Amino acid sequence: MKLIVQKFGGSSVRDAQRIRNVAEIIADTYKAGNKVLVVLSAQGDTTDDLIEKAQEINPRASKREMDMLLSTGEQISIALCAMALEGMGLPVVSLCAWQVGIHTTAVHSDARITKIEAERIQRELDKNKIVLVAGFQGVDRNGDVTTLGRGGSDTSAVALAAAFRADLCQIFTDVDGVYTTDPRIVPDAKKLPAITYDEMLELASQGAQVLHNRSVELAKKYHVDMEVVSSLERKPGTKVKEVVNMEKTNIAGVAKDTSIARIAVVGLAHNPGVAFRVFDLLGKAHINVDAIIQSIGRESSKDISFTLPRADVEEAVKVLENNKSVLRFDHVTVEDKIAKVSIVGAGMMTTPGVAAKMFEALYDANINIQMINTSEIRVSVLIDEENATAAVRAVHEKFFGGED
Ligand code: ADP
Ligand code: ASP
Ligand code: MG
């Protein structure tokens, strides 16, 4: 008997009809003789709506209370879906993270899973029940509810698949797989039959929201057999795995991220330890920085620029300003009308000229590059936000245009 983890995203459980559709997929998997462990997201735009409600009451609400609020969306989904399965005469139980024992760090709104207790879920599976678990949420050592970051239900699913050594982890969503870029931006993007963990991790980290990046990280670490499939059409999706036979193209895809900003700390002393102090302070405030550039200014001062999630800008500026006397900089500037566009592909390690081809596409589209940042299998450029969609189209066309 196999254990299959199935995760359904917000659009897949949007309304009563979609919940019934999800219940049917789960029921079919169960009736085929599998044990089924299900993770659900909040319905449709519930999480965004809850954020809006909070804004109306207190735009500076604490992250703890935000987690109390946002975690409710997933609880609604699991209860409703359990009711649909009950209505079909199937044995089912829905569980919140605190009932399961999904332990996380205490970093509200961006908590990491530290441990999953097996006992409760195992007991229910042993009773032949379908188990529905609320995604996105966890519980910290004080018993407080935490959330894993936007899109985090994918990570709940993979973590459960790893903890229970599931035979397969299926991520059901509103697209039928991972494409060479967001099919909503480029309608003739191509579906990938398979993609490596490393490439998927880069794509997800660079803004392809089809999978939460930490879910891919976990899948790679624990060798979880993972696939992205449609909840609306029953057809093969995209397998995410260790090795993929990439014969034709050396680029797996193009991603864009418009949720970032750039901060420049201007007029720092050109001494050893300055970069350490800046990023140590930001790290202690749980702020993840991405691309970093240091440039030498006039009179042996230096500037340090870095990109970070737009949501963290206020906090980052506060941390820097509060430590101005220690860091001794002149001023801080913030640029938030920027975007990052990236190409990702394991093949670029062995193929020269890939970056040049990307830059040529941007040049032809008359798009100016502000910053460039690379990894072994990725090239990212920072550009004006207003050019982001045009850049994705131009770069995608350059690498994938003319293919069948
Ligand atoms: P869910 O609610 O199921 O978690 P998401 O909205 O988080 O779904 O992710 C699915 C969306 O990701 C798709 O609707 C699509 O617009 C977007 N997307 C971005 N990049 C890609 C890509 N490379 N391949 C497929 N979908 C992508
Ligand atoms: N409901 C959460 C969100 O909208 C988690 C998820 O969908 O994965 O971010
Ligand atoms: Mg998602």
Atom of ligand 1 nearest to the CA of 11: 2
Among 39, 41, 49, 51, the mutation site with the greatest number of ligand 2 atoms within 8 A of its Cβ is 41
Which ligand is closest to the CA of 155, given by its number? 2
C-alpha of residue 172 to centroid of ligand 1, in Å: 10
In this prediction, residue 403 has a pLDDT band, given cuts at 50, 70 and 90, of low
Which ligand is closest to the CA of 135, given by its number? 2
What is the share, in percent, of the chain residues with pLDDT greater than 70? 98
**Residue nearest atom 5 in ligand 1 by C-alpha distance:** 210
How many of the other CB atoms lie within 10 Å of CB of 131?
A: 27
C-alpha of residue 45 to centroid of ligand 2, in Å: 9
The pLDDT assigned to 270 comes to 86
The pLDDT assigned to 350 comes to 83
d(CA 8, CA 214): 17
C-alpha of residue 324 to centroid of ligand 2, in Å: 36
CATH code linked to domain 3-174:
3.40.1160.10
| Contact (CB, 8 A) for 204 and 257 | no
- Pocket-forming residues, ligand 2, beta carbon under 6 Å: 9-10, 41-42, 47, 73, 135-136, 150-153
**Which residues are CB-neighbours of 225 under 8 A, at least 6 positions away?**
166, 167, 168, 169, 239, 241
User: What would the DSSP string read from start to end of 208-245?
Assistant: -TTS-HHHHHHHHHTT--EEEEESSS-S--EEEES---
- Pocket-forming residues, ligand 1, beta carbon under 6 Å: 9-12, 41, 151, 173-175, 178-179, 181-184, 208-210, 253
**Residue nearest atom 7 in ligand 2 by C-alpha distance:** 151
C-alpha of residue 351 to centroid of ligand 2, in Å: 37
C-alpha of residue 209 to centroid of ligand 1, in Å: 5
pLDDT per residue as tens digits for the range 226-277: 999 999 999 999 999 998 775 555 799 999 999 999 999 999 988 889 999 9
Closest by CA to 306, choosing from 262, 267, 370, 369, is 262
Among 153, 213, 214, the mutation site with the greatest number of ligand 2 atoms within 8 A of its Cβ is 153
C-alpha of residue 234 to centroid of ligand 1, in Å: 17
User: Stretch 306-329: mean pLDDT, rounded?
Assistant: 94
The pLDDT assigned to 221 comes to 98
Where is 342: in which H helix or E strand?
strand 338-344
The pLDDT assigned to 349 comes to 82
In this prediction, residue 164 has a pLDDT band, given cuts at 50, 70 and 90, of very high
**Which residue shows structure tokens 């007991």?**
123
User: Stretch 103-112: mean pLDDT, rounded?
Assistant: 96
Where is 28: in which H helix or E strand?
helix 16-31
C-alpha of residue 154 to centroid of ligand 3, in Å: 7
In this prediction, residue 151 has a pLDDT band, given cuts at 50, 70 and 90, of very high
Would you state the structure tokens that stand for residue 226, as one six-digit string?
């993972």
**Residue nearest atom 17 in ligand 1 by C-alpha distance:** 210
